Amino acid sequence: MNYLASRLRWRRGINSRAEKKEMIIIPAYNEKENVAILVKKIRNTLGDIGILFVEDNSPDGTGAEIKKIQSSDPNVYLLERAAKSGFGSAYRQAFAWVMKNTATQFVVTMDADLSHPPEALPELIGRLARYPVVIGSRYAPGGKIENWGLFRQLLSRFGNIYARLLTGIPVADLTSGFLAFRIDWLKRLNLTSSKSEGYAFLIELKYLFRQAAAQFYEYPITFVERREGKSKFSLGIVAEGVIYPLKVLWRRLSR
């Protein structure tokens, strides 16, 4: 990835960040109705920890909404990109920045659409004392999905079984985007060759942790389908999610 070419603009100076041990990274595209509610819920659950949004010049004004939040909350950070550049690349850029510039010890990845319950954050982060990677899991015993139609449920269920079989990663919810991990483990991953974007990126991240011999813990969550805003779910994202586990299988077989 060409960091120089990407137009990053940081809304806060280097001095105001880095005090917090935890950083929640949230990619947000056209999530205007959700960001303020999400920040409020995080603050009510965990208090004043770091929150970093990666926002791609959303036409609905999500960027302006985040700046409004920043005016009264100094621990909300914003990485603004000039155009929609993908979910995976949003995380890759955010990880690189957090590793380089902050004293963060614990990273959380989370969607902006309120699908991932902020109430689970203390459980996820708390377990990092014993596990390098904790997954907010829909498919761990006790996990649930609310308001998904049969098609999404089946696609996700079979997609996860398929990805698990091909990659051999012992995780029930490989496509979960709600993760907590320790930064010393993130630093061991080779993310430079990563190009994936949607579900494939979520599987790849777990594959890279697995290659680094990280142990996973799956904490059951109730995933709630978004109420506001539109899905960025597309056929291309599904196709990429089908192809990526095949690539991993090929790598495993040719070893």
Ligand X SMILES: Nc1nc2c(ncn2[C@@H]2O[C@H](COP(=O)(O)OP(=O)(O)OP(=O)(O)O)[C@@H](O)[C@H]2O)c(=O)[nH]1
Residues that bind ligand X (CB under 6 A): 27-29, 31, 54-56, 84-87, 90, 111-113, 115, 225-226, 231-233
Smallest distance, ligand X to C-beta of residue 25, A: 10
Smallest distance, Mg ion to C-beta of residue 111, A: 5
Smallest distance, Mg ion to C-beta of residue 72, A: 27
What does 119 interact with, of ligand X, Mg ion, none (CB < 5 to 8 A by kind)? none
236-250 core/surface letters (b: 16 or more CB in 10 A; e: else): ebeebbeebbeebee
Angle at which helices 32-46 and 62-70 pack, to 10 degrees? Answer: 30
Cβ contact 144:222 at 8 Å:
yes
Amino acid at 40: K
What does 22 interact with, of ligand X, Mg ion, none (CB < 5 to 8 A by kind)? none
Task: Answer yes or no whether residue 104 interacts with Mg ion by CB under 5 A.
Answer: no
Cβ contact 135:215 at 8 Å:
no
Q: Which pairs with CB-CB distance under 8 Å and at least 24 residues apart come from 161-170?
A: 162/242, 162/245, 163/203, 163/241, 163/244, 163/245, 166/245, 166/246, 166/248, 166/249, 167/203, 167/207, 167/210, 167/245, 167/248, 167/249, 167/252, 168/252, 169/203, 169/206, 169/207, 169/210, 170/216
Binding mask 37-76 for Mg ion (x = CB under 5 A): ----------------------------------------
What does 112 interact with, of ligand X, Mg ion, none (CB < 5 to 8 A by kind)? ligand X
Distance between CA 27 and CA 229 in Å, rounded?
14
Smallest distance, ligand X to C-beta of residue 112, A: 3
Q: Which is nearer to ligand X, 28 or 124 (CB)?
A: 28
Task: Answer yes or no whether residue 156 interacts with Mg ion by CB under 5 A.
Answer: no
Stretch that binds Mg ion, among 91-99, 109-117, 137-145, 201-209 (CB under 5 A): 109-117
What does 203 interact with, of ligand X, Mg ion, none (CB < 5 to 8 A by kind)? none
Stretch that binds Mg ion, among 7-15, 112-120, 149-157, 178-186 (CB under 5 A): 112-120
